[in-house]
């Protein structure tokens, strides 16, 4: 099989790159994108990209799938990608996605005081009308006498 430095997405033997390697190509003169497990070398496309070079640069060095999809690229944009395809990502090297979970400590220290003051406000809102009513009644009794 002849050695080749570039591949098309229809290749049966795509070049596999690690996530670390992809992350290193994050400069204006050397920019790779990771989109849907596929890797694209968009260095030559930077100046021609209708969305500008800065968005491509900021999407490099990470998984850019969501960024790419969020823009709602046209079918012709997706066909254009083929030209820049250079291989696939080694999935075992991709760091697991982190979803933000509020630490347990923070949940007890910051949330509970709010709950306590919420309860205080509710009780006050309930009591104040009764206090006013009681006061009005007392004044009425006092002025009658
Ligand atoms: C190989 C990868 C990419 C190719 C071939 C590509 C191609 C294109 C093309 C052809 C357009 C014109 C509009 C269209 O036809 O949809 C476009 C617009 C745009 N692209 Fe990309 N793009 C790529 C990656 C990205 C990435 C990773 C981002 C990151 C956010 C991005 C952001 C944008 C933005 C913001 C626009 C402008 C949308 C507008 O103003 O209408 N693109 N791109």
pLDDT digits (tens, 9 = 90+) for 73-126: 999 999 999 999 999 999 999 988 766 666 665 555 555 556 667 888 888 888
Number of domains the chain is built from: 1
**Rounded Cα gap, residues 89 and 19, in angstroms:** 7
In DSSP terms, which residues pair with 27 in a beta bridge? 30
Task: Output the pLDDT for position 105.
Answer: 59
Gap from CA of 39 to ligand 1 centroid (Å):
15
Answer yes or no: is the ipTM higher than 0.85: yes
Question: What are the residues facing 30 on neighbouring strands?
Answer: 27
**Residue 7 Cα, ligand 1 centroid: separation in angstroms?**
21
Query: Does residue 66 sit within a domain?
Result: yes
**Is 24 part of any domain?**
yes
pLDDT of residue 3: 38
Cα-to-centroid distance, 71 and ligand 1 (Å): 7
Q: Which of 9, 48, 49 to mutate to test the pocket of ligand 1 (most atoms within 8 A of CB)?
A: 49
Compute the distance between CA of residue 57 and CA of residue 65 in angstroms, rounded to an integer. Answer: 14
Residue 72 lies in a domain: yes
Could you tell me the residue range of the domain that residue 29 belongs to?
A: 16-96
Whichever domain contains 25, its CATH number is: 3.10.120.10
């Amino acid at each position: 099989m002849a050695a080749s430095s570039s591949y098309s997405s229809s290749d049966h033997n795509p070049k596999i790159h690690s996530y670390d390697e992809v992350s290193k190509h994050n400069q204006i003169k050397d920019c790779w994108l990771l989109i849907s497990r596929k890797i694209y070398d968009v260095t030559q496309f930077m100046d021609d990209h209708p969305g500008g070079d800065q968005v491509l640069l900021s999407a490099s060095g990470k998984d850019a799938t969501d960024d790419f999809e969020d823009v709602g690229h046209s079918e012709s944009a997706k066909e254009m990608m083929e030209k820049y395809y250079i291989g696939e990502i080694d999935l075992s090297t991709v760091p697991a996605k982190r979803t933000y979970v509020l630490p347990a400590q923070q949940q007890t220290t910051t949330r509970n005081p709010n709950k306590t003051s919420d309860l205080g406000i509710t009780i006050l809102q309930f009591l104040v009308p009764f206090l006013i009513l009681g006061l009005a009644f007392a004044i009425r009794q006092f002025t009658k006498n």
